A and B are shown apart, each in its own frame.
Chain A
Amino acid sequence: MASNILIQLTITGLAWGSVYACIALGFVLIFKATDIFNFAQPELMMLGAYLTFAFITVLKLPFIWAFLAALVLMALITALLEMLVVRPLVGEPVLSVIMVTLGLANVIRGMTGLVWGYEEHQFPAPFPKDPLTIFGVAINQAEIYTIVATVILLVGFFLFFKYSQSGISMRATAEDTSAAFLMGINVKGVFTASWVIASLVATVAGVFMASLTYLDPIMSHTGLKALPALILGGLDSVHGAILGGLIIGVAENLAGFYLADYLGSGINEITAYVLVLIVMMIRPYGLFGTKEIERV
C-alpha cells in the first residue's frame, strides 16, 4: 500500500516536474539565444492557458483547434512584445532587462486578472477523467499524457537543435552572436524566434498545468517555481533545466506527503525554494551550469 502511494506521488511529481521543465526550457531557450532572463515566462504560460480556455468557451472550438489557435496567437503576441519592449534594451545592463521582463510579467498578470477575473475555472481538458490502473496503482490519466507529451516535445527539441538548419543557427547565435551575424544568420530573427518558441513551450506547459489543477491566476505563482528548477539545473543548460524541473516536481510531491506531519502543511510550496538554496550553497552555478569566466 505504501509503495502504491509512493508510485502515485512519483508519477504526479514527474507530471508536475514536466510542466516545470517546459517552463524552465522556455527560460533557457531565451537565455541561451539572447542572454536575457525572461521573468515573464510564468505569465506567458498562464496567458497561453487562458487563451486556450477562451477559445474553447467563447468560440466553442474543439480542444485541438483552440489549442492551435492559442499557439498562433501567443506566437504573435510574443513576437510583438519582443520587438517592442525587449529589442530596444539590447545592450543595456542586465538589471534593466530583468526589470523590463518583470514589468512585462506584471502587465500580463494584471491584464489576465482584469479580463478573466480571479476565480478559478475548470479547464476543459481532453484527457479522460477516470484513472488508469497499472499494476494495481491508480494513476491520473492527465499526468500520463503530460509526461508523455513533454518527452515527445523534448525529443523533438533535441532533434530540432541538432539537425535542422534553424536549430543550428539558433545554437550558433547563442554561442557567439557576432560570429553568427557575420556568417549571415539573421540574428534579429533568431532572437524573435527564440522568444516565440519559448512562449509556445510555455503555452503547452500552461495547458497541462491547467489540466492537472484549475485555471487560476495563481498559476503564474506556481509557474514561478520553474525558476528554482532552472537555477538548480544551471542557467544555460537545457538538460539541467529539464532535470531540475523533474527533481523539483518529484521532491515537492514527496515532501508534501511524507514531511507534512513534521513540518506542517504547505511544505510542498517551499520545497522548491529550500532545494535551490541548498544546491546554491554546494554548487553556485547549478548542477550543470557553466561557470562564468569573468574577464576584468
Chain B
Amino acid sequence: MAVTRFTIRSYAQDLRIFPSPAARISLVLLGALLLTFPLFMGSYGVFVACICGVSIISALGLNLLTGCTGLLSMGHAAFMGIGAYTAAILAARTGLPLIATLPLAGLAAALAGLIVGVPALRLKGLYLVVTTLAFQFIVEHVIYHWESLTQSDKGIALPSPDLFGFPLNSYQSYYYVILALAVAAAVFTKNLLMSRTGRAFVAIRDRDIAAEIIGIHMAKYKIMSFAISSFMAGVAGALYAYLLHLISPDHFTFNQSILYIAMIIVGGMGTVLGSILGAVFMVLLPEAINAVSGPLVSAYPDLAPRIGGLSVMVYGLIIIFFLLFEPLGLFGIWIRIKRYWKTWPYTY
C-alpha cells in the first residue's frame, strides 16, 4: 500500500525538520551520496558541485530576503561582490587565512546590507526594487573604478585557501568545506524560518502594516533580514572567490543578480528546499546549454560570437515558463510528486 502510515503525534515531533522515518532514511542516503561524491566524480564534476554549493548559500540568503520577507532585491550580486572582494583583498594583501576572511567578508557584506536596509525601510514595492538596482550598479561601478583597491579589470588573485594550516589546494578538499558550510546554511535557514524571527519575516511579507499592528517590530526585522541575507551572500561570494582563484568585476554584475532571482523563482520562493533545487538547476543549466550550443556552433560557425545570446534567452524562457505554469517552482513540483506518491491510488 502506498498510503503511508506515518502521522505526526506530538508537537515536538511536528517541530522537527525531518519528522518521518522515510525523511530520515533519505537524509542518510543523501548524506552518504554527498560525502562520497568526489570519489566517483572527476575534477570538473567536483568543481561544478562546488559552484552549486556556493550558489546554494547565496540563493538561501536571497530567498530569506525576497521569498520570506518580501523585499525584492536586485542587488544580490553586489553583496556577493563585496564579500568576494573583501576576502580577496584580505587574503592577497594581508595573508589572513580562510577561517578569518570568510566571517570578515560576511560582515562586510552585512554592513553593506545595513547601509541599504536602513534607508529602504521607507520604500515600498517597486521603489525598493529600483533602489536595490541603483545600489547594484553603484557597487559595480565602485569595484570597477577603485583601481587602487580592486585592480579593476586585472582582477585579484587569491592564494589557495587553507584550513588551520591544512592546504585545500584541490577541488576535492575544498568541496568538503563548501559542503559543510552549505549544510550549515541550510539548517540555519530552516531553523530560522521555523522560529519566531522567521514567522515575523513571513508576516512582513504578507501584510507588513498588519504585522506591525500585532507587535512585530517592522524596522528591526526588515533590517535583520537585509543583514542576514547579505551576510550569507558575502560568505558565498568569498567562497566563490577562493574557488575561482581570480575574481574580476564582471563576476558580480546585474546579470548575476537576475540569475540568483531566477534561482529562487525556479526553485520555489520562501522555501529552503526550493533554494537548493533552484540553485542546482540554474548551475547545471549552462552545462546543458553548452551541450546544445557546442554542436550548434560547429554546424554554423558564424554563430560563434553570438551564442552568448542563447543562454540569456534560455534563462528568460525558463523564468517565464516556471512563472506561467508552475509558480511554486521545482519545490511545487516536488510537493506534487510527494502528494501523488503518498495518496496513490486515491487521486484526490
Contact = CB atoms under 8 A, between A and B. Distances in A.
Interface of A: 37, 85, 88-89, 92, 94-96, 98-100, 102-119, 224, 227-228, 230-231, 235, 264-266, 269-270, 272-274, 276-277, 280-281, 284-286, 292, 294, 296
A103 B323 contact: yes
A98 B74 CA distance: 12
A78 to B, nearest CB: 15
Contacts of B313: 106-107, 109-111, 114
Nearest to B136: A273
B320 A85 contact: yes
Q: Which of B129, B213, B269, B312 has the most CB of A within 10 A?
A: B312
A276 B134 contact: yes
Chief secondary structure at chain A's binding surface:
helix
A46 to B, nearest CB: 12
Contacts of B269: 95
A4 to B, nearest CB: 29
- Grouping DSSP codes into helix (H, G, I), strand (E, B) and loop, the B interface class, with mixed when no group exceeds half, is helix
Contacts of B316: 102-110
Interface of B: 66, 70, 72, 119, 122-127, 129-131, 133-135, 137-138, 141, 144-145, 207, 209-210, 213, 258, 261-262, 265, 269, 303, 305-320, 323-324, 327
A280 B306 contact: no
A228 B134 contact: yes
B324 A89 contact: yes
B303 to A, nearest CB: 8
Contact of A284 (B127, B319, B327): B127
Contacts of A284: 122-124, 127
B319 A106 contact: yes
Contacts of B327: 92, 96
A118 B131 contact: no
Contacts of A227: 130, 133
- Max count, chain A CB within 10 A of own CB: residue among B127, B133, B209, B317: B127
B59 to A, nearest CB: 15
Contacts of A230: 130
